[in-house]
Amino acid sequence: MGAYTTIAPVVSKIFCSSSHAVLMVRRRPATVNGGGFVVTDHGQRAIFSVDGCGIIGVSGQLIVRDGDGNAILFIHKKEGVVQALSVNNWWRGYLTDYGEPSKLVFSLQDPKPVLCMKGDIRVTVEQKGRKRHWDYEVTGSFVQRSCAIKNRAGHIVAQIGVKGMMAGRDFYQVVVQPGYDQAFVVGVIAILDNMHGESTRC
């Protein structure tokens, strides 16, 4: 229980649980409601949803909503000349206030392929006084639904995989460890989804 109380939430403590959470991610058909995906709990109750450009109408932008449909995270890919010259793609995650982006809470760094080499996907949590260059990293293959989000110490925060007869690329499981922010985990998954041209991309 002590480990649970020491983990600072990224989005909000209301999205943290004292026990591990098993979430199911289901892709929405682009032709029916603009794509993106829905996240349900073990009781099939929708607890998060993610909108991509099929709904928003702008590429490189994502919105994470809670189970009531309220926007809780606005995510966008940094663009421009400086970004084009950078060796990394940068994504920013903001809390929303009355539906508009407000406070920056995390940044995700996706190295561009350079000389056929691919670096680590790393996430930095925005907190004052923080000197570290990254706080979390993504390991494994998201495309194959076999990857994990780990903290700086190498401990698994969330495991993404397939389980059950219906499981696959369009329906997969995410296990979030106790104390970690589930909304933040969904935000990272939304970026991975978009990066690989899946449900949130047009």
Task: Output phi, psi for 124, to 5 deg.
Answer: -115, 130
Q: Is residue 40 part of a domain?
A: yes
Residue corresponding to tokens 């109750």: 45
- Per-residue pLDDT tens over the stretch 158-192: 999 987 666 778 999 999 999 999 999 999 999 99
- Per-residue pLDDT tens over the stretch 83-127: 555 656 889 999 998 778 889 999 998 876 654 445 678 899 976
Paired tokens of 29? 């058909």
Per-residue pLDDT at 1? 41
Q: Which of 16, 37, 31 is nearest to 172 (CA)?
A: 37
Residue corresponding to tokens 């995390």: 106
- Per-residue pLDDT tens over the stretch 42-91: 899 999 999 999 999 888 999 999 999 999 999 999 875 455 556 568 89
CATH code: domain of residue 16 = 2.40.160.200
Average pLDDT over residues 19-32: 90
Paired tokens of 40? 């349900």
Mean pLDDT of the chain: 86
- Per-residue pLDDT tens over the stretch 140-152: 999 999 999 999 9
- How many independent structural domains does the chain possess? 1
Domain extent at residue 166? 2-195
Q: Which of 53, 52, 30, 48 is nearest to 38 (CA)?
A: 48
Confidence grade of residue 19 (pLDDT, cut at 50, 70, 90): very high
Q: Is residue 101 part of a domain?
A: yes
Q: Is residue 201 part of a domain?
A: no
